[in-house]
Amino acid sequence: KSDEQVLLKTTGLTKAFRGLVALRDQAITLRAREIVGVIGPNGSGKSTFFNLITGFSQPNSGQIEFKGRSIVGMRTSRIVALGIARTFQGSRLFGTLTVRENVLSAAQLRQPIGPIASVVRGPLYQRNVAAAEAIATELLDLMGLTDQSDRLAADLPYGDQRRLEIARALATKPELLLLDEPAAGLDSNETKVLAGLIRTIRDRYGVAVVVVEHDMDLIMGLCERIQVLATGEVICVGTPEEVRNHPRVREAYLGH
Ligand code: ADP
Ligand code: MG
């Protein structure tokens, strides 16, 4: 296996909150274009894992390498610029901006328009604005939100808001997309649509995707590999089939 293909590699990743160990000695290796699931009951450390990768919180110990370089201690904005994007478990949309403005504002995170450029408005500024507009148009179309472009984000139905969050994450042109419970609150039909979209995103943009869920159903059909957490510990990693049949998963997670 060539190491060049390794996109994300964590080792010994540990995070404690005042003695409560939220994640213990977690390790995962992710290659370009992989779709990997991380599942586990509530409180098992899934969101903590994303928070550590994206610089929202700092590990007590362990390493996080993205494209071969350590990103521990880097600011979130820098990590986004390197190519990691995420969605949050709860909505983080700008409710008073339109749908299109939400995506445009995210597009600027990867290529920030500096204070001077935004006053001078030279050719580079013009090009960045045009590029952001093009990305927004494309992503709104992909997510089935074109008709809603001019509505306020807060006025969208819940399922549309969840897809808008993914559009925002994609607007930063990530190589790695982290989705935190993207199917939460969706009905089974919306969940099927979402699974198809995640595959399309991977195929079209070549991104690797980590999907966190506490529900196994979406994950099983979508992911090539799954890591199972329980109270901060990795209890198994494998294909959907291996995970489904793992005794510790059945016992600790499925309750039988
Ligand atoms: P999951 O996303 O799998 O539901 P989390 O990663 O959010 O779990 O949380 C793992 C554990 O860490 C939980 O016990 C949670 O209460 C605790 N935890 C998470 N974030 C914090 C924080 N900022 N302060 C204190 N405890 C936290
Ligand atoms: Mg969570």
- Could you tell me the end-to-end alpha-carbon distance of the chain, in angstroms, rounded to an integer? 37
Mutate to test the pocket of ligand 1, among 17, 23, 88, 231 (most ligand atoms within 8 A of CB): 17
Q: What is the pLDDT of residues 21-80, one digit of tens each?
A: 999 999 999 999 999 999 998 999 999 999 999 999 999 999 999 999 999 999 999 999
Ligand 1 proximity of 24 Cβ (cutoff 6 Å): no
Ligand 1 proximity of 47 Cβ (cutoff 6 Å): yes
Distance 173 CA to ligand 2 centre (A): 24
Nearest CA to ligand 1 atom 13: 43
ipTM confidence score = 0.98
Q: Is 15 in the pocket of ligand 1 (CB under 6 A)?
A: no
Question: What local confidence, expressed as pLDDT, does residue 167 receive?
Answer: 97
Could you give the domains of the chain? 1-83+174-256 (3.40.50.300), 95-172 (no CATH)
- Which bound ligand lies closest to the C-alpha atom of 51? 1
DSSP summary character for residue 131 = H
How far apart are alpha carbons 233 and 52 in whole angstroms?
A: 15
Calculate what percentage of the chain has a pLDDT beyond 90: 78
Angle (CA) 8 135 91, round 5°: 65
- Atom number in ligand 1 closest to CA 45: 6
**What is the rounded CA–CA span in Å between residue 199 and residue 204?**
9
Q: What is the mean pLDDT of residues 211-231?
A: 91
Ligand 1 contact via 22 beta carbon (within 6 Å): yes
243-249's contacts with Cβ under 8 Å and 24+ in sequence apart are 243/39, 244/216, 244/220
- Condensed to tens digits (0 to 9), the pLDDT of residues 92-112 reads 899 999 999 999 999 887 666
Radius of gyration of the chain, Cα coordinates, nearest whole angstrom: 19
Q: CA-CA distance, 107 to 1, in Å (whole number)?
A: 34
* Cβ-contact 178, 212 below 8 angstroms: yes
* Ligand of minimum distance to the alpha carbon of 43: 1
Rounded to whole angstroms, the Cα distance separating 162 from 195 reads 13
Confidence of residue 120 (pLDDT cuts 50, 70, 90): confident
Cα(238)–Cα(246) distance, rounded to whole angstroms?
A: 9
**Ligand 1 contacts CB of residue 45 (under 6 A):** yes
Distance CA 169, CA 179 (A): 9
Nearest alpha carbon, ligand 1 atom 21: 17
Closest approach atom of ligand 1 to CA 18: 25
pLDDT at site 123:
80
Q: How far is the CA of 45 from the centre of ligand 2 (A)?
A: 7
